[in-house]
Amino acid sequence: MNVKIEPSWKNVLTQAFQQDSFSKLVSFVKDEYSKEKIFPEGKNIFNAFKHCPFDKVKIVILGQDPYHGPGQAHGLSFSVKPGIPFPPSLLNIFKEIKSDLGKDLPPNGDLTRWADQGVFLLNATLTVRAHQAGSHQKKGWEEFTDEVIKTISKERNNVVFMLWGAFAQKKAELIDASKHHVLKAPHPSPLSAHRGFLGCRHFSKSNEYLISKGLSPIEW
């Protein structure tokens, strides 16, 4: 199956794209886009892959679902397009960066600048119906994105995985912690951020790890 995705990812995910489950997923997604309002725009489904080639991945931040409001989702977990107000979880991420690193809140919530530095902003599910959170879960995306995580774990070394909340932390079983750095914290949602996300210092910790491995840190 010919999937339009950044070439380095296409090379390492060949088997995933050949699975029957992926063919069924593609059929489902195409049908949904033809009948319903789906986010993100089709051209942005694999945006995280486009901005962060496989051999450039330094950090993985795992989300669950794209935003389901108009104009928000653009294929990067937690990120929103310029001009869109910060969603609550993203605001808490920026608050933690300010507390951890002393950086003021940015002018917008577009995290493309992170992705271009090697922060792979992956959602477990890459599409969603407008105003229907979780509507494309258990349709095949999770099998694909689990394969992505396993491929990074197997084929790369010294990657930082930030797993926020119970859903993301279940993915730890896919990661070889002997060759990667796994950071866990509660989800940055207002419902749980005060239980340990705020104060987790994941942004400074990840940079310290990268530097210890001879890699350049992220400009958060």
Given the residues 20, 31, 55, 65, select the one marked as catalytic.
65
Residue 65: active-site member: yes
Torsion, Cα of 148, 153, 159, 163 (10° steps)? 70
Contact (Cβ atoms closer than 8 angstroms) between residue 120 and residue 60: yes
Q: In whole angstroms, what is the distance from residue 210 CA to residue 214 CA?
A: 6
100-118 per-residue burial string, b: 16 or more CB within 10 A, e: under 16: beeeeeeebbbbbebbebb
Q: CA-based angle 131:148:62, to the nearest 5?
A: 50
In angstroms, the CA 187 to CA 106 distance is 21
| Residues assigned a catalytic role | 65
